[in-house]
């Protein structure tokens, strides 16, 4: 149940703490010059930008399954197995920030992704998943690919793809179609 409280991140807490400490320094009633105030503000802004190392969290098995079901539907089956999720202090969410992917794990992710891709474009799912009909199923159709990837990319990346990203993915799809004939 939400109580309406917003959880504040570490950079924000650092800024609040720095502001509190800066407001407690000096003598009561002492006037500060404008230059001194600007310098204090710059120090607080710098303190707010200091944080820990950037982390990239590995999706847990449940998160991976859920995003595939949300984007492509519950009829898409994952073909493969995941490496076990790590627990840190009993929590998978913390362990996922400290997890690494082994070579064997990377191969499994590749196998799962290929299985998902095969199902999306198979005869059973193609009409449901792809909003347009390619002019020729054996030849690249950049307009149809761009429409599909624009829609799905926004869901998978949780943001719209840039024109450069979308163009790169459309080119990759066209190259693969030329190479495989499908």
In this predicted model, what pLDDT tens digit does every residue of 36-78 receive, in sequence order?
Answer: 555 555 555 555 667 777 767 777 788 889 999 999 999 999 8
Q: In angstroms, rounded to a whole number, what is the distance separating the alpha carbons of residues 31 and 15? A: 23
Distance separating alpha carbons of residues 145 and 182, to the nearest angstrom: 13
- Say what the pLDDT of residue 62 is: 85
Name the more confident of 7 and 124. 124
> Against a cut of 0.85, is the pTM above it?
no
Q: What 3 state SS string does the chain have?
A: CCCCCCCCCHHHHHHHHHHHHHHCCCCCCCCCCHHHHHHHHHHHHHHHCCCCCCCCCCCCHHHHHHHHHHHHCCCCCCCCCCCCCCCECCEHHHHCCCCCCCHHHHHHHHHHHHHHHHHHHCCCCHHHHCCCCCCCCCCCCHHHHHHHHHHHHHHHHCCCCCHHHHHHHHHHHHHHHHHHCC
pLDDT value at residue 23 = 37
Would you tell me the crossing angle of helices 103-121 and 61-72 to the nearest 10 degrees? 20
Dihedral, 48, 49, 50, 56 alpha carbons, nearest 10: 120
Q: Is the pLDDT of residue 27 over 50?
A: no
pLDDT score at 18: 38
**Can you tell me the distance from the alpha carbon of 54 to that of 57, in angstroms, rounded to the nearest whole number?**
10
pLDDT at 9: 41
Q: Are 171 and 145 in contact (CB under 8 A)?
A: no
Residue 59 contacts by C-beta under 8 Å, 6 or more apart in sequence?
67, 96
pLDDT of residue 162: 95
For residue range 85-140, what is the model confidence (pLDDT) as tens digits? 767 777 666 656 666 778 888 899 899 999 998 998 888 888 888 888 888 878 89
């Amino acid at each position: 149940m939400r109580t309406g409280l917003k959880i504040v991140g570490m950079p924000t807490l650092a800024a609040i703490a720095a502001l509190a400490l800066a407001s407690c320094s000096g003598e009561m009633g002492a006037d500060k010059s404008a230059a001194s105030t600007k310098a204090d503000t710059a120090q607080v802004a710098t303190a707010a930008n200091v944080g820990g190392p950037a982390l990239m969290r590995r999706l847990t098995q449940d998160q991976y399954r859920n995003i595939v079901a949300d984007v492509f539907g519950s009829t898409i089956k994952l073909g493969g197995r995941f490496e076990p999720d790590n627990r840190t202090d009993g929590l998978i969410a913390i362990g996922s920030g400290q997890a690494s992917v082994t070579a064997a794990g990377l191969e499994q992710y590749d196998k799962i992704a290929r299985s998902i891709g095969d199902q999306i474009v198979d005869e059973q799912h193609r009409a449901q998943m792809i909003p347009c009909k390619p002019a020729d199923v054996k030849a690249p159709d950049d307009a149809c690919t761009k429409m599909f990837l624009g829609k799905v990319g926004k869901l998978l990346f949780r943001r719209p793809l840039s024109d450069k990203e979308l163009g790169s993915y459309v080119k990759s799809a066209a190259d693969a179609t030329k190479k495989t004939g499908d």
